[in-house]
Structure 1
């Protein structure tokens, strides 16, 4: 930019205005094997650029729909306030016998859980996907609901059980895996990391080696393919044809809803992983969408959300992200297990309050 104005040479971003959008209540940058201090240090508030930033506050929850009466609007305001209090860590922990405070734990409001109902997979599916056998091909029905959970292992198991409820045979698409950027010879690579070992790796943010699909299954795109057609990371689609080398999918949410696209295999690599080699997996960038991890749900708007917590959330903002995905409080149902596996109304809410230190106080009023 110094060709425009020599004084811009020493200005950040060449003197251009840059807009940074985000919510510090949501999940912070993911640092592999990092502790709390590492995660907070990776935030923009710890950058040298933060001192020259001007903060503008967005105060209206645009995701929540307007009620049809004054009483409904009042309930929506209370729910929005509760969501913000969760994100700010301002919900007081419960007391036991009026003496002991349970650190980082909160009581779930009675309207969002049923302790009398066992947290089985069938109960969660019936709650989040009622009349699934009749509505499983409805694009509107499928686009507005999902089951959220904190770990990939639980997500994969739950998605497999839901797909098994579909009629017809599943089609398996196997990936072609390879290892690159290895320091040794090819012979050492083949002996230390055979193809069978590479196939067994389940890396976060990548499709599995054996991707089982059926016609009518809802999937989510895991990579940006064509932004002009809204084929971006997070686009929700439904499988319409299972062909030999690719699948045909129909977009069920967004601007290009109803458009169909062929999704081929493509080479994918994890962005950040501690391995002595670079894993290259040639597979369709698709993930079954009925159940998804909380981190991947950021940016989604859903009418019905079932939160399944066999174990509590483990990092800043996960609980806040989940309860803030719904467009109405009536669409939120929470299933929480205690250490013995029984249903409970206690869960953990992790908030790193030090990330808010450099933010305006008006954000928490």
Structure 2
């Protein structure tokens, strides 16, 4: 990993003559390793024999998750949205409009939508994602199964995205730590789409809710519920 640090920093800064000391390379490498561990709910602090990077290296390291979700071409997303939106049927519009208005108005809520196979669920999700991404907003589409997650634009399984424990019980909590990349990503998310929600055990939702409550308590201790902060779509 340390062998790539100088190359990546030169690429990020667009300065091919950039030079880093051995101390700086070590610090940036440890910061990258810390962020990789954070994504799976771990930290270098969990391993006493490992050195921990200085805060300056952690702050200098870009949040790759936010960068990934915010790096869409707005103009391209707008064109795709216009094309997709023009083909929405009346049933899809009845779902589309009540979602976009609260999200743009920063009114947080939860909406459960049910539809049979072939009624255009995935098409609607794509339209919503393109609309919000064209405005620079972050959308997290997840699904309860891997196949459904692949069909969503930029989608992943809920277990992978939110670090839901494999073994669930009534007190389980998703492994998302304060200060991690995924925690900061959640704070900046405008919309969460959860496809095939009925396939997930209720303890899975509860574990995510507890994690979101904990994360959002740092933003507003009086309003720290997942459902009050995020407009979640379950289908």
Q: TM-score, normalised by structure 2?
A: 0.32
Give 1 or 2 for the bigger CA radius of gyration: 1
Greater RCO between the two (CA within 8 Å, min separation 6)?
1
The structure where helix makes up a greater share of residues is: 2
The structure where strand makes up a greater share of residues is: 1
Q: TM-score, normalised by structure 1?
A: 0.23
